[in-house]
Structure 1
Amino acid sequence: MQERIDRFVNEIPNKEHIQQLVTKLDLILKIEADDNTYYVSFKDGKVAWCDSCMDMGKTATLSGRGAYFEHLFDGNLKLLQGIKMNYFTTDCPFRAQLVLESLFYLARPLPVYKFISE
């Protein structure tokens, strides 16, 4: 799980179109997966994961099973779809859910296609 969060955090600065969403975002994403808790900070146009970010601002909590989070970070499941299907619970406003949905979708790893030359 930590590997997927690291990939997510590292991917956002590499994609300029995603950076536009993060520029004015001031939010701490608390991810509760199984028995583990992870924090991702969005502040001043930067994204970082931290051990404990509870005192740094607004917190949005996402809770669910680790397997569902893996699907979310891999781009196989959309956040709002997961919430609708009760895979995730959240305590953040709908606007924050929409921003997070966009971030997860846009930061997903893109498939690599191999072209066969004949």
Structure 2
Amino acid sequence: MDEAVQTFINELKGREDLLQLVTNTEFQLSFFCGNQIFRMAFQNGDVFLLYEEDELLMNNKISGKQKELEELLEGKETLRSLMRKKQLMVSAPFRTILLLESIFYLTKASGSLREII
């Protein structure tokens, strides 16, 4: 799971067009997978892993099994479809969910879709 999160972050950092979605945004996202917790921060056009364990940072949460979380991070499944199937539980404001949906989906967009965007 750690590798999937780091790969996602590296892919996103390589996409300046998508980082513009979070240019004036600051929020944290926690992934809960079994007994593992991964924290990601989106801050002023950058994204990175957080290593401190501050409960205040856990305002946006996604929890589920490793397979579904990896499918989300790899762009194989959309966030809202996994939510509808009850394979992922998400605790975040609706606007944040829509932003995350866009980021997860577009980060793994195929080459032909990247040309359109």
- TM-score by length of structure 1 reads 0.84
Structure with higher Rg: it is 1
Query: Following the alignment from structure 1 to structure 2, what is the Cα–Cα distance between the partners of residues 58 and 67?
Result: 22
Segments of 5+ residues of structure 2 without an aligned counterpart are 112-117
In the alignment, is the contact (CA less than 8 A) between 1:23 and 1:46 conserved in 2? Answer: yes
Deviation at 1:4, TM superposition (A): 1.0
Secondary structure in 2 matching 1:59: coil
In the alignment, is the contact (CA less than 8 A) between 2:8 and 2:74 conserved in 1? Answer: no
Residue 3 of structure 2 is aligned to residue 3 of structure 1 = yes
Change beyond 3 A, Cα 1:43–1:56: farther
Query: Following the alignment from structure 1 to structure 2, what is the Cα–Cα distance between the partners of residues 5 and 20?
Result: 20
What percent of counterpart residues are identical? 27
Deviation at 1:52, TM superposition (A): 2.4
Query: Following the alignment from structure 1 to structure 2, what is the Cα–Cα distance between the partners of residues 63 and 57?
Result: 15
Residues matched between the structures, number: 111
RMSD: 1.9
Query: Following the alignment from structure 2 to structure 1, what is the Cα–Cα distance between the partners of residues 12 and 34?
Result: 25
In the alignment, is the contact (CA less than 8 A) between 1:12 and 1:19 conserved in 2? Answer: yes
Structure 1 segments (4+ residues) deviating >4 Å: 55-58
More helix, by proportion? 2
Secondary structure in 2 matching 1:69: helix
Segments of 5+ residues of structure 1 without an aligned counterpart are 112-118
Change beyond 3 A, Cα 1:54–1:108: farther
Letter in 1 for 2:89: T
- TM-score by length of structure 2 reads 0.85
